C-alpha cells in the first residue's frame, strides 16, 4: 500500500486534514507520508491527523503514518466503473 497523502513543511494544515478525510472516505485505511520538509515529532503529527480527521492511528513506521476510520454504514458507496470481461 502506497501513501496517498503527503504532509509537507507546513505540517498538519487544514488542507492536509481535508485530503486525509477524503482519502479515508474512499479507502478506510490509508497511509500518509511525512515529507523531508516536515519538522516536528512524527507521533504528535500522527495524533493531530487522527484527532482532526476522526481516525485512529494504526501504526507509525519511520515517516509513514497508517490511519483507519470506519466508513459509515448509511454512507452510499461511490459508483465504480465496470469494465467488460
DSSP per-residue string spanning 35-72: -TT--S-HHHHHHHHHHHHT-EEEEEETTEEEEE-PPP
Q: Domain boundaries in the chain?
A: 5-68
Q: What is the mean pLDDT of residues 60-80?
A: 81
The neighbour count for residue 77, using CB atoms within 10 Å, is 7
Which pLDDT does position 72 carry in this prediction? 72
Instruction: Give the predicted TM-score (pTM) of the model.
Output: 0.80
Q: Which CATH superfamily is domain 5-68 in?
A: YhbY-like (3.30.110.60)
How confident is the model over 15-35, as pLDDT tens digits? 999 999 999 998 999 999 999
Amino acid at each position: 500500500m502506497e501513501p496517498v497523502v503527503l504532509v509537507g513543511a507546513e505540517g498538519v494544515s487544514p488542507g492536509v486534514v481535508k485530503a486525509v478525510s477524503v482519502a479515508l472516505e474512499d479507502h478506510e485505511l490509508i497511509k500518509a507520508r511525512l515529507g523531508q520538509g516536515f519538522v516536528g515529532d512524527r507521533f504528535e503529527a500522527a495524533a493531530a491527523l487522527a484527532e482532526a480527521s476522526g481516525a485512529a492511528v494504526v501504526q507509525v513506521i519511520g515517516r509513514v503514518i497508517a490511519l483507519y476510520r470506519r466508513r459509515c454504514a448509511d454512507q452510499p458507496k461511490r459508483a465504480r466503473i465496470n469494465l467488460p470481461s
